[in-house]
Structure 1
Amino acid sequence: MNRLLGMGLLSVVLFTASLSFYQIHQQVRLDFQQQLQRMNQLLAKATTLLLLDGGEQDINMLYSVAQHQASFPVVSITMFDNEQAVISSTGLNPLLEQPDASWFAEQHQLHWLHQDRVLSSLPIRVEQRIEGYLLLEAGSPPFPWSLWLWQLVIWLGLPCLLLGLWLHANRQRHQLQQGLSDTEQAAMRWLAGESLLPLSRQQPFAETLYQLTDSIEQKQLAQENKLALLSEQQLQARELELSFTEQSQRYEQQQQQLKNTLTQLQQNHALLLRQLLLTPAPWQSPMLADLVSSEELTATKQRIMLADWIAAQAPGWRDSVRPEQLLTLEEDLLAFEFELDCVSAALALCCRALVRLCCQHTLHSQLSMQWQLRPTENLLHFRLVLRGESLPAAICQQLESSIQAEQAAFLTDTQLFLRARSLLQAELTVSSLDELGSSIQLTIPCVYHTCSPVNSEDKLYVLSEPVPSVTPQLQSLKCLSRQLVHCQNLSEWQDITNQPHSLKVLLLPEPDSAHTEQWLAWLKASNTIGLSSASHFAYWHAKRPGYVLAMPVSAVELLRARQSLPPTQANPFRLLVVDDNATNQAFIQAMLASTSIELSAAINGQDALQQCQQSEFELILMDIQLPDMSGMEVTRQLRQLPAFQQIPILAFTAHALPDEIEQFKQAGMDDVLIKPLDAEKIALLMNWCQRQADTQ
């Protein structure tokens, strides 16, 4: 029985020792791998920063310092390029002179080499590209024998102590039973009347009591020793925890130092850009200004009216286009009716970078900027269409990507566009067909607010040669008028020039066209604005400075040009009275002498027809009985003239029956004014004429 108990106890001891050794060994290996991986990651980040900053000569110094300051044995630190050639090393192991291809992977790897060596492999990425590999060789960590022995003592001492206590208690029980038997015999002797001296220490009962007392003291001492042992273990655990905390704090301090260094580099980068921006040409450029402004971009929204915003950005767009390229602008008819809350600075940077990018990679394409408002969906659609040559596929893929690192240096229009797009939180759609063109659409979330629309023109006349490229420009013109009249026939324009109150827009042709002189004469007319392409703008602007705008022109720029035109004097309201009675003519002339109405008189029908062919009138009073022909006949002939088909003509007669009034209207007259004239009728006539004049 004792032999089996000993063998079982020995088996427990061996199993406990083996399990404890395995657990501690695995934990040490795991902690060592984590420390080795963290050190390799820190060195890879520092190497990336040095490569970006041009400090390749400082890499070897960095590796030497890291090797001597590491908390575990580091044999060597080696950097390989993509061709597996050594770039920098602190001590090249002969094993690394012929590296294994499996060490160069796209993610971190850990290899346990022979001779108690560990190899950590990590790729070095610069702007998402693998520029090399960092291999860190370290010695195997020593095994913590003291910790293993302490755990072995704890796990084995307790069973042995319990076994000893059990054996001791069994012996004490036997002695106690013997003492109780002796005491019983002594008590029986005392009951029998035999003399019995008091029990001494040598007597069984007293010795048992003394032994029990000693056993209790021994248990208390064992408990105190156990508590002391546990306190010592807790102290060691506390020391380990403090050591781990110190290492964590050291790691956080190193991270903070790296962040501070990166922040300082970014500040120096921004300061250098500002200094370059303040340096005279050739450093000054719109792209450099955008690079500086991109460092200060935030996601703060501003309220803008899209039409005003487009007018402010249009000059920059025109400057980015090359002379051989053509840029057109198509605005939404709702541009003047809503204000938008959006990140306007990011939107401006996004558009400028996109226009420059398209102009750089497409030399013979027509660019069209299209804006569409969606108030019900709280969305704004911006679309840039290239017709002809399409964007390269690589550029389209870059536009559809996203920014991976905020610390990247934004040195291209593509990166500026991606950063501005991320601040706008816009969805991007890019489509392209070879040799047919490309389409880039941004869907931008925004908040709409209604506003008071601008005063638009009642009628706007546009003259252009039949060129398809002016179609988007007509969309901006529609924002300013209730009715847009587009003429493509030069012969029709002569009649329009006789209407001085209406705004006229000329889409000017090339200066060497056959009708250049005629176009120049029309351009100098009142209430006329000329629009020219960028390549011909200098010629037409020199002919009429201030009244010629370069395309594409926004609606607000057209509105400002309209407001800068000199005002035209309003024509007086012209009244023609056809009557052969000189008294009636004199009376009407006296009554209207104090008004702004211009009065003309005709004494017969032929005189009336002749005056109407030479002048225009807003109202005609037609007598029925004329010396040469009837007033109804004169009205029929006037209605055949294009300029008098809508002019009001009133029958001016002494009497009119219902049948006669019907005949007057069939002849083309609008109403009847009964003779003789008096002050009340003249007042009614003046009020009626004034209302007609106000509606013109």
Structure 2
Amino acid sequence: MSTTLIALYRYLFLFYCAACAVLVMSTLLWQQHHNRQLLQAQLQLYGDVIQLALSPKLGQAAPEQLQQQLAELQFGASIPVAALALYPLQGELLLSVGQTELVPMELPGQDFSSLTLITLSGRDVAVLPLQKPALPFEPFSSQPTYLLLIIPEAPTAIWLLWWPSVLAWVLLTVLLLLAWRLREAPQRQQLQRLQSFKQRAESLQLQGVEPLLQCQDSAGLDQALLQVLEQQQQLEQQNKQLDTQQQQLMAQLEVFQLQSEQQQIQQQRRQQCLVRWLHQWQLLGQRKPQLTEAMFDTLQQLHYCYAKHQFAAAGLQPQPLLLPEWLTEQLGALNMLLPDDCAMDWLESGDCYQLLPEIDAEFLKHVLQAMLLLALRSESARRFSFKLQLLASPDPQLSLQLACDGNGLPRHLTAQLHEADSSALQWRDADIAVLKLAARLLNASLHVESLEGLGVRISLQWALIAATRHSVPLLEHLLVFDADPERLTERLQSLHNLALQVSSCSNLSELRKRLQEQAYSAILIFLPGQAPCQEWLTVLTEIRCPRFIFVPPLSLSLWQQNLSCLSSADFCLGWLAQRLHELATRPLKHLLVVDDNETNQAFIKVLLQHKGVQLTSALTGAEALTLCQQQQFDLVLLDIRLPDLAGTEVARQLRRLTSYQQVPLLAFTAHALPAEIASFRAAGMDDIVLKPLDPCKFETLLQHYRLC
């Protein structure tokens, strides 16, 4: 049984060995055929990749570029490639890369309509026809234009590869079969995946990426391809963003070019205006002999102000400014512009002391100058009224109003005021240019009314920033007289901040009555424009309190011959506030009257009521010398004939005192002959006061020696 079994085993073994040999040989032959098919598939796939990468450059790129592209394709091949060569459809070798010694100069003449495996020099090579598309992204044409020779690396000898397997097959047939099956499966999967990659790549070129993006459940290669497509989409989005940014930059460039052109036009206009301004400046210099000094200087200032803000773009520099004090400083220069036959009234609102506005003082001065020069161009204008009104509510505003009589402005001036362009103005029109400039810089409302026979009204008003200010009244009771009721009303509104109580009257009889009924701290009088009369002189002489008298300019010289007075054009709140402050803060002047006549002493005492002068009386020369040694007097009125000593002797002794060498000594006498006057001077007396005492001359004397 065992022998039979052994024989059977041997027989079966021989049969098995023969069967195994046959199986092995058939397997080897099948493997060789399978490898050839696999090589053909790999070469076909590799050729498709080359077709996609190389076809768009055929006929367009230089041979050097094609050769470089072939070298990159050889290096990145999925299978070992020994050489690549490119042939025209009918012709010799065009170019090659890799092991060029394996490349033939010509290909055998046969039909290569698709990928074809042929044998050259004992190895399998592939010939791939290349089609050139007519346009980018179009299907390939059916006629090839070039042939691509692909020479793979020489495969390893099959017997050397399978000899260990043949030996192992005898011992482990089942195991070898299993190993072979396991090895075959990945190759099939790889082939399928390569074919799927090819199909998806072709689908991407022909139908877009939407079908591929929907394949999110694919593995491995699908995910890698999906990532590539996502990157491609990101690049497209970035390209779109770059396009949008480029469009925005182009739009900004167009806006910049437009702005640049506008700036160039404006610069040209500025240059033209500047040249014209320089020409007008030269013309102004040529007109200097024809103008007054004040008019010429003011026009120069206005021209400079216009150029500074129009061409140099200098901004305003507002600073806190107390308007009454500022106007006091500017009043003299502004009044110099008025002709001698013109009268000016400066009126200020009461809020000028309640608010502290922020204003560019220099620019405000030029605005007032421009308004005054423009009003002076009114024909036959003689009387002017300039009102500065600082309004506190609802928002702080400054209002400048100038009115004058006459026949109004010429028509061409009113037309220039309404024109937007100021470049065509002449040298004399600097006032109009500055007013229009002020309206623009201050955002102010400018109104000019000119009516024939009714004169001119100019108003400029703008909003500003102002801080509140607390003012303390300087007087207890102020009396104001003005023959013009309308002007009196305007002045009363501005004087309530300077006194606790302000009274007013507008006719002479009422003034005399008020002076008799009540005592006042000070009196402010605006005399009518008439020649001095005795009635007025009598009333003014009877005033015993500090008085401030203002007269119209036309009759000022006549009034100044009889009393101390000022021009009404010089009055403003700041001036009055300064004088009242001096009255309130100055020390009392001390007057010594030496006279044995008590009637004269009493009369002088009456004259000094409300004058702010302290009076000391002495009846003899010895008493006067004693008093002067004990205290200091500012003025000594010395009678010549005293009971004990002569007035000249008292004067000589006073001059010996160091403290009285500069004190005024006045001779008080009923007569003064030339010889007597010489003796008075020799004794050290400064002046002579005649008896009986004239109140007007006595007040003038006190003012001369600054006692009141």
TM-score by structure 2 length?
0.41
Larger C-alpha radius of gyration, 1 or 2?
Answer: 2
